[in-house]
Amino acid sequence: MTQSDRGLRRLAAGTLLVAFEGTTAPDWVLRELEHGLGGVTLFGFNVADPGQVSELTMALRGAGEPVISLDEEGGDVTRLAYHVGSPYPGNAALGAVDDVELTRRVYRAIAAELAACGINLDMAPSADVNTEADNPVIGTRSFGPDAELVARHTVAAVQGLQSVRVAACVKHFPGHGATRVDSHLAIPIVDVDLDLLRERELAPFRAAIEAGAKSVMTAHVAVPVLTGDTPATLSGAALTGLLRGELGFDGVVVTDALDMHAITKSVGLAGGAVLSIAAGSDLLCLGPLPAYDDVQAIIAEIVSAVREGRLPAERLEEAAARAAALREWFGGAREVPGEPDMVGLHAARRAVRLTGATEPLVEPLVIEVDTPPTIAVGDVPWGVGPWLPDAEIVRVEPAAADAPGLLAKAANRSLIVVVKDAHRHRASQELVSALVAARPDATVIEMGLPVWRPASAAYIATYGAARANAQAAVELLTA
């Protein structure tokens, strides 16, 4: 391989954020970092505890200058607390409180934990304006349905993260909130005109850019008036024309995971990588599925695209320069984080809402109505069990649940029914309605968006299913 070939391969590898299985870095990752690999994205399966993550990131930094990223949004989407649930409420709870200083404090606390573990880029916050209640992938990850509210809290989140030199990655550009399709599975469509897009979807991104956000994540959504049938991740009109041109963003553009079906089932993983770089992205998050052979194939395809004239070498060099500027910012003066406080629980307590009145608990039976996890969230524990150690907890599949049997089991006992996004699941609504019709003294705890509620029963809305949300709900229940 000539020096020119090695240089081109290094540029190509520098655009990739790879993933790997396990809690230690494989040899191939360390080797590729020595040869210019852009960095890694960590997932829940890479995390055992903070000490292990620190050792892992130290090993990664020993092989190069990687971007080390993960999704730590607080609330339902957590990686550091993947096995126990986040100690911080997510965006929906923070939006319900609507105190921008509180949002800033929460995200600063998250950043302090990330920085202590060696993470330098947080794929957060979600700046999506969640105008579609049946959105299967955003929901409580959004600050809310109002663009101005989302914009001011997005700015606060960016400021909180970047105050300790953890780069924010504002997502999912140009907005995933008005969709009813999960881009992990297909290409969602945001069918709005440009005026509405600018007024609603783009408002939080514009505010975040003005606040100095270091990176923006693309969405695999199509906006017909802007991108046609092409997802924004692959669209020059979206990334170069709109994001770079109209909005003036000069930081790093990071893709959403390229192993999602919106990309792999349309143009393929390697083809999507080339098209996305050509459209204007700088770092390609590959997602959890691609392995070593896939990474090699992607690098080879990027190199071939340059040699064949399908991808200008200048575009790779531009991406490398932006990534280098980000790494230089990582190394700047860093505030020393203060001691961790109880800001997460404090925020969850301020967010939780009680309608009606609860009664003293008597041998409580807790029925947790199971909700399938989304791909973005993963299988993170949720529920009130840790905070009600003396209660009997029964988790049921709503479509198969035996309501009369559950009611018989709850006879002469306090009945608590816990749901998550009941508005999206007809079987959950039917089960809850049947239970509270027979037991109007029951308490329903909604740990998703409080869109649907039963006609009777005390009702607690947490605006999220994080560990902090659950504790705040139980404190109301037992007050």
Tell whether the model's pLDDT for residue 338 goes beyond 70.
Answer: no
Model pTM score:
0.95
Tell whether the model's pLDDT for residue 114 goes beyond 60.
Answer: yes
Q: Other CB atoms closer than 10 Å to residue 251's CB: what's the count?
A: 23
Q: Which amino acid is at 381?
A: P
Tell whether the model's pLDDT for residue 23 goes beyond 60.
Answer: yes
β-strands 443-446, 39-42 pairing:
unpaired
Residues whose CB is less than 8 angstroms from the CB of residue 439 and which lie 6 or more positions away in sequence, other chains included: 407, 410, 415, 457
Sheet containing 458-461: order of strands: 353-355, 458-461, 443-446, 415-419, 365-369, 392-396
Question: How is residue 45 written in tokens?
Answer: 């399966």
| pLDDT score of 373 | 80
Residue pair 233/256 in contact by the 8 Å Cβ criterion: yes
**Which of residues 339 and 281 earns the better pLDDT score?**
281
Tell whether the model's pLDDT for residue 340 goes beyond 70.
Answer: no
Sign of CA dihedral 184, 294, 72, 216: negative
Measure the CA–CA gap between 343 and 111, rounded to whole angstroms: 13
Tell whether the model's pLDDT for residue 171 goes beyond 60.
Answer: yes
Question: How is residue 293 written in tokens?
Answer: 């052979």
Question: Residue 256: which of 274, 237, 236, 273 has the closest Cα?
Answer: 273
| pLDDT score of 320 | 93
Measure the CA–CA gap between 113 and 334, rounded to whole angstroms: 14
Measure the CA–CA gap between 209 and 200, rounded to whole angstroms: 15
Tell whether the model's pLDDT for residue 462 goes beyond 60.
Answer: yes
Beta bridge partners of 353: 461
Measure the CA–CA gap between 397 and 419, rounded to whole angstroms: 11
Cα torsion 351, 352, 356, 357 to 10°: value is -130
| pLDDT score of 463 | 97
| pLDDT score of 61 | 95
With vertex at residue 429, the alpha carbon angle to CA 425 and CA 430, rounded to the nearest 5 degrees, is 115
β-strands 215-218, 167-173 pairing:
parallel
> What is residue 39's DSSP assignment?
E
Residue pair 274/310 in contact by the 8 Å Cβ criterion: yes
Residues whose CB is less than 8 angstroms from the CB of residue 245 and which lie 6 or more positions away in sequence, other chains included: none
| pLDDT score of 1 | 59
**Which of residues 337 and 248 earns the better pLDDT score?**
248
- Kindly state the average pLDDT of the residues 29-58: 96
3-state secondary structure of 474: helix
% the chain with pLDDT above 90: 84
**H or E segment and range at residue 443:** strand 443-446
Q: What are the helix and strand counts (H, E) for the chain?
A: 18, 14
| pLDDT score of 123 | 97
Tell whether the model's pLDDT for residue 2 goes beyond 70.
Answer: no
| pLDDT score of 417 | 97
Q: Other CB atoms closer than 10 Å to residue 391's CB: what's the count?
A: 19
| Rg over CA atoms, the chain | 23
Measure the CA–CA gap between 342 and 88, rounded to whole angstroms: 9
| pLDDT score of 59 | 97
- Kindly state the average pLDDT of the residues 60-85: 95
- The catalytic residues are 184, 256
Residues whose CB is less than 8 angstroms from the CB of residue 334 and which lie 6 or more positions away in sequence, other chains included: 115, 164, 165
| pLDDT score of 337 | 58
Residues 275-334 pLDDT 10s: 999 999 999 999 888 899 999 999 999 999 999 999 999 999 999 999 999 999 998 656
**Reported confidence tier of residue 183, pLDDT bands at 50, 70, 90:** low
Q: Which of 13-17, 185-189, 342-346, 441-445 has the lowest mean pLDDT?
A: 185-189
Measure the CA–CA gap between 40 and 350, rounded to whole angstroms: 36
Residue pair 443/358 in contact by the 8 Å Cβ criterion: yes
């540029």: which residue's tokens? 11
List phi, psi (to 5°) of 322. Answer: -70, -40
Measure the CA–CA gap between 97 and 462, rounded to whole angstroms: 11
Residues whose CB is less than 8 angstroms from the CB of residue 246 and which lie 6 or more positions away in sequence, other chains included: none
């967010």: which residue's tokens? 351
